[in-house]
Homo-oligomer: A and B are copies of this chain.
Amino acid sequence: MSARSRIAQIGCGRIGQVHLRNLFAYPERCELAALVDANEPALTSIAADYRLTNISTDPSIVFDDPTIDGVIIASSTETHAAYIIEAARSGKSVFTEKPIALDLESTDRALAAVDETGTRLQVGFQRRFDRGYAAARQAIENGDLGAIEMIRDAMRDPAPPPLAYLEKSGGLYRDMTIHNFDCVRWLMGDDPVELFAMGSALTGDDIVAANDIDTSIVSMRFPDGSLASIENSRRSGFGYDVRTEVFGSKGALHVGDSRQTPVRRYDASGVREDHQYFFLERFRDAYEAEILSFLQAVIDDTDVAVTGADGRAALRLAIMAESSRQSGRPVVASEFPSEIEIEPLSRMIISA
């Protein structure tokens, strides 16, 4: 009989339900020990479907249960840091959705708790578990591309989120580009020394009301002179779009279009293919792989693949980008204060 871990989950919204499905599909690695959500009707309904009985709106059923090995945190962003701290103090392994927090101070408190208690923390940068991105990283490590000279990393959402979401999002760079920052620094194997951000608000009144941007290009220089460009948009018109191109001295590698089906339709107007519309579809396998990776780390008592330090580093780049955009100037990493000096977006900073 294989070893398996007892896992609790906090939060069963959209992404939480993705995790639940994946946990159930691997009974040999995981037993779902408890489910918590602040929304009681939703919790009750989902628990009934899944025949779960150890449920509560109170997360203490997780933290007070010594038989629970690990916690999946899929609750709203402003709760992440506090739950990480409680989980760490109760000796449990933690998987948290990104970001740890919207500010470095809260992030640092959470990381300190993990550090002090010697538990493990995995941050939900699922892209690293996508087979395409994993192949890109492997090719770079193998030296297949030679010396990396440039990375272009683009991500677009199908349509802008509602104002209510935008107001709590932390802004484009902390909410969306943070995935690109993690991806680029992971592929580069380094942090940038300089960064310049250019942004615009093109999609309408909500973005302006949130004091945010929806369209952005961030360029970065790395210690060895290699460059990177990140493109983002809150609106694509054609569905979720994530694509990354890595250029090296010996060749290039593109992580490109992802299709729903291998169907091509030919008619008088040409040839048509479909396109994945949503990130949950694009990264379905990656969400499964990241949870399996976390479970394996818990079972084997080993390091996680994406650390809290990774989460902090990506957040810091997001804050640097926001600073660059607001000042209209490049930001030099070595001169950037650990005390954050950017103008907060209206209603943006939320204490943990």
A-side residues, CB < 8 A to B, are: 1-2, 21-22, 24-28, 48-51, 130-132, 135-136, 139, 144-147, 149-150, 152, 154, 156, 194, 196, 198-203, 215-217, 219, 221, 225-229, 231, 233, 235-239, 241, 247-275, 328-330
A146 near B237 (CB under 8 angstroms)?
Answer: yes
Q: Would A27 and B28 be within 8 Å (CB), given that A200-B227, A231-B152, A274-B270 are in contact?
A: no
A318 to B48, CA, bound (A): 47
A49 near B237 (CB under 8 angstroms)?
Answer: no
What are 6 A-B interface contacts by the 8 Å CB criterion? A27-B50, A200-B226, A202-B226, A251-B268, A254-B264, A328-B330
Contact partner of A27 (CB less than 8 A), chosen from B24, B247, B329, is: B24
Contact partner of A51 (CB less than 8 A), chosen from B27, B139, B196, B262, is: B27
Closest chain B residue to A52, Cβ basis: B27
A229 near B217 (CB under 8 angstroms)?
Answer: yes
A28-B50, A251-B266, A259-B271 given; name 15 further pairs at CB < 8 Å: A21-B25, A22-B25, A132-B263, A149-B235, A196-B330, A198-B221, A236-B251, A237-B250, A238-B252, A238-B268, A250-B267, A251-B267, A256-B263, A270-B274, A272-B273
Give min CB distance, A197 to chain B, whole Å: 9
B267 near A263 (CB under 8 angstroms)?
Answer: no
